[in-house]
Copies of this chain bind each other. A is one copy, B any other.
Amino acid sequence: ALHLPILAGMSLAILLMQLKLAGVHTLASTVHGAEAVGARFSASQSSDAAPPLFAPWEVDWCQPVALLVGNEGAGLPEELERSAEVRVRIPMASGVDRFAVTHKVDSLNAAAAAAVLFYEAARQRKLLTGSGANP
């Protein structure tokens, strides 16, 4: 059952501005990132540089945050990703087959990525277990 409130038909630009005015930090879940995770903005970077990239555990989820998650094929539109304050990427292990050959592992699907990020937020917020359950 889906219990998330859904707001449809809203301009993303207006929503982002409202979040900014309300003091809500925007995090973009990303599939990109040639830079090492944990790299921070340096003063020498040009203004159109991508937002700094962090691992989920490096982000402070106890602040008010809005998480932007794209679709699993393409991720977020590049413009949206650049408009976020911070980008967050879930580290992926490489797959090693029985012949010890390393393969690139596919990205998580959007639901699994969101589950991981919400988990990290819950962990930091010390969410206590409720009546829910998981397999």
Residues of A within 8 A of B (CB): 1, 3-5, 29-33, 36-37, 55-57, 69-72, 75-76, 89-98, 103-113, 115-116, 119-120, 122-123, 127-135
Say yes or no: B90 contacts A119, CB within 8 Å: yes
The answer to whether A91 and B128 have CB atoms under 8 Å apart is yes
Counting every copy of the chain, the complex holds: 2
Minimum CB–CB distance for A5 against chain B, Å: 5
Complex partner residue of A130 from B32, B91, B130, CB under 8 angstroms: B91
| Residues in B neighbouring A75, C-beta threshold 8 A | 135
A5 contacts across to B, CB distance below 8 A: 97-98
8 more A-B contacts (CB under 8 A) besides A31-B133, A89-B133, A109-B135?
A: A3-B96, A5-B98, A29-B135, A32-B133, A37-B128, A90-B119, A91-B132, A94-B130
Closest chain-B Cβ to A11's Cβ sits at a distance in Å of 21
Nearest CB to that of A37 among chain B residues? B129
**6 closest cross-chain pairs (CB), A and B:** A92-B132, A3-B95, A91-B129, A112-B115, A31-B133, A90-B134
Determine the distance from Cα of A125 to Cα of B5 in the docked complex, in whole angstroms.
35
Q: Are A135's CB and B116's CB within 8 A?
A: no
* Residues of B close to A133: CB separation below 8 A: 30-33, 89, 92, 107
